[in-house]
Structure 1
Amino acid sequence: MPIPSGADAEAPRLSVLDVVPVFSGSDTAQALCNTVDLAPRVEALGYLRYWVAEHHNIPSLATSSPAVLAGQLASVTTRLRVGSGGVLLPNHAPLVVAEQFGTLEALYPGRIDLGIGRASGGDPLTARALGRPFAPDDFPRQLRELTGYLAGTADTASERSVAAIPAPPGQPWLCILGSSLASARFAGVNGLPYAFAHHLVPHLTVAALDTYRSAFRASSHLDEPYAVVAAAVVAGESDEHARELALPYLLRKIHIQRGLVYGLYPNPAEVAAHSFSRLEEKYLEEHSADQFFGGPATLAEKVAELVRRSGADELMALSLIHDHADRVRSYELLAGAVPAAHRSSPHQIPASEN
């Protein structure tokens, strides 16, 4: 049974995007433990899926191996869809990606998602260290090769066929990730679901989803367009509490703008010691307005406005909160703020993946 489109639903489905943030005073091991703890908690709240990103050589993001982490998350949950948000395909041979996610699909049938992006997820030196074999311009060919392996139809130029093993009966749910009108058009023309990075370029969200739907052509993957919006979400007991919880994330954004890419997320003590300039305060206000920060009533209004303006079918919440208990509570508050009556079960996903 397909999920209804955003225009037909009063509320989007809720999902989680996780970059496994590492905060000052903590370490990557604790960040990974927090991620593994969070997955069954959001499953119990009715969230649809849990995606982990791919980044390299960034100490604040402990998420370099989405396939490995997705397998761990699947092992501690029973219904939650898990996967990548996303695998950065130019970093990998398509056969390897097909083998990794084919293995996951064989182990956890009907629960594996394969979000695909074309960025590098790191700096040029890291790209070389990864042996990055492909350029972004080669992405369409890579994607064709990957889908061929997943469907069991890929061949080499030689007479011998190459197959991705294992080849389970079903396939992972394939989705294109992007932050531009070009990626939206690409996803539409190829008849694939599309996940847009609202947390990076909120001013383009409506135009990107409009472009995606206008370009959409039905395919073997999908009968109708399906759009996911990934946004920064910080839910507090009140608007003021949410703003306080969001400050470490916002200060990290300021650090990145200054070129301090390799630091960790600041902890609350470091935030308290920081004197925000007038320009920084303005940035905090603007970024907070563009994302989903607030108490339950504010979040309910913002989510409803997102659906009204963009027709999003799904909201994927990226919650970068220092204290793990506060992070869990944020997802609880978001679930409470969004009407549950129209949420599908984790196995009611669009079109023909299973």
Structure 2
Amino acid sequence: MIPLSVLDLSFVSADSTPAQALHDTLALARHVDTLGYRRYWLAEHHALPNVASPAPEIMIGQIAAATTRLRVGSGGIMLPNHAPLMVAERFRMLEALFPGRIDLGLGRAPGTDGITARALRRREAPSGNGGDDFLDRLQELLFWDQGFPEGHPFRSIVASPAGVPLPPLFLLGSSDYSAQVAAQIGAGFGFAQHFAGMPAEGPMRAYRQRFEPSRLGPKPHAILAVAAICAPTDAEAERLAASARLSTLRRERGEYRPLPSLAEALDYPYTPAERARIEQGRDRLHVGAPETLRARLAALAESVQADELMIVTAVPDRAARHDSYRLLAEAWGLQGA
């Protein structure tokens, strides 16, 4: 079986606080470290009441220090929000402190609303190309690692700490744009199936078919991020999924509220249109007992040619969330589970 990893958004639940969500992230990382999961990635979001972490690089250091086996990384750093030199230096520091255990995943979206994105950015994007300067920032980030060409004004600057390389690079996305760029530069690729508006198969296969080996990587590595909830029985897993389904429905309406409690979700008065919308989104939330979920995820990974699955589990109850990752690890046959 291919490796399993974890994507953690540091969800804030209705009966908790953002500070508690960060501590829950640390506890979950320690838990899955003993189960045999390969990676633990943290996302970057700003000014959203349902997720607690705006700074994955800080959480990466905390989690790497609290675990022993996991690779820890960003899923991802939203590059348009950051000066490439700052990204290079922060992740060189992490690599120096935890050699061979850090990943640098990069996203193109702001991870927030439009007005907050303006507040985050130190300079306006150029007017050309629709105001999108992601490729310019990506090229500059690679230059900080590989060296600037002759005549570049930054050529004399040494990114600190000197002599430490950038960690392995992954481009993240929910469309085929990042898949194409990742293939062209020889980077890893992660597809966010848990919220993508298109099927994963096209971008995942295109990335593999067009991959060009480079200094970043000799062969493609495609990660599929999926939302999944596991419980002892199919019925219990479906029950636990009520919170995630209501949260998704609200998010699609622009309501970024904390993850609702299970009681609130089960008692919510859904309209027929809302129930129909939930049914339409069932293929983006994988739910079931261990063997049910193992079979479904294995088939999905094979169909899109994924090298790795990254699991995001939105369950407000901490114990149930830990059990979900444990049950899946046992069914998957992870070493340590």
* TM-score bracket for the superposition, by shorter chain length: over 0.9
Q: Which letter maps to 2:2?
A: P
SS at match of 1:162: coil
Q: Name the residue aligned to 2:177.
A: 182
Q: Name the residue aligned to 1:8.
A: none
1:289 to 283, 291, 305: 283
Distance in 2 between the 1:37 and 1:324 partners? 9
What are the ranges of 5 or more consecutive residues in structure 2 without an aligned counterpart? 126-130
Answer whether contact 1:91 1:133 (CA < 8 A) is retained.
no
Deviations 1:128-149 (A, max 9, x none): 2113535462111211111221
**1:111 positional shift:** 0.5
Distance in 2 between the 1:340 and 1:68 partners? 28
SS at match of 1:231: strand
Answer whether contact 2:227 2:284 (CA < 8 A) is retained.
no
Distance in 1 between the 2:91 and 2:302 partners? 34
Q: Which letter maps to 1:165?
A: S
Distance in 2 between the 1:271 and 1:211 partners? 38
Q: Which moved more, 1:73-82 or 1:301-310?
A: 301-310
**1:217 positional shift:** 0.6
- 1:199 is the counterpart of 2:194: yes
**1:202 positional shift:** 6.6
Q: Which letter maps to 1:73?
A: I
Answer whether contact 2:12 2:21 (CA < 8 A) is retained.
yes
Deviations 1:315-335 (A, max 9, x none): 000011111111111111111
Q: Name the residue aligned to 1:163.
A: 158
- 1:133 is the counterpart of 2:123: yes
**1:273 positional shift:** 2.8
SS at match of 2:232: coil
Q: Name the residue aligned to 1:242.
A: 237
- 1:79 is the counterpart of 2:69: yes
Distance in 2 between the 1:156 and 1:332 partners? 54
Structure 1 stretches of at least 4 aligned residues deviating more than 4 Å after TM superposition: 152-156
Q: Would the alpha carbon gap of residues 26 and 154 (structure 1) be closer, same or farther in structure 2, given more than 3 Å must change?
A: farther
Count, aligned residues: 331
What are the ranges of 5 or more consecutive residues in structure 1 without an aligned counterpart? 1-10, 344-354
Distance in 2 between the 1:202 and 1:295 partners? 26
Q: Name the residue aligned to 2:15.
A: 25
Distance in 1 between the 2:198 and 2:175 partners? 11
1:97 to 87, 104, 109: 87
SS at match of 1:336: helix
SS at match of 1:71: helix
Give the structure, 1 or 2, with the largest relative contact order (CA under 8 Å, sep 6 or more).
1
Q: Name the residue aligned to 1:273.
A: 267
Q: Name the residue aligned to 1:208.
A: 203
- 1:255 is the counterpart of 2:230: no
2:315 to 298, 310, 321: 321
Q: Name the residue aligned to 1:301.
A: 295
Identity of aligned residues (%): 42
Q: Which letter maps to 1:289?
A: D
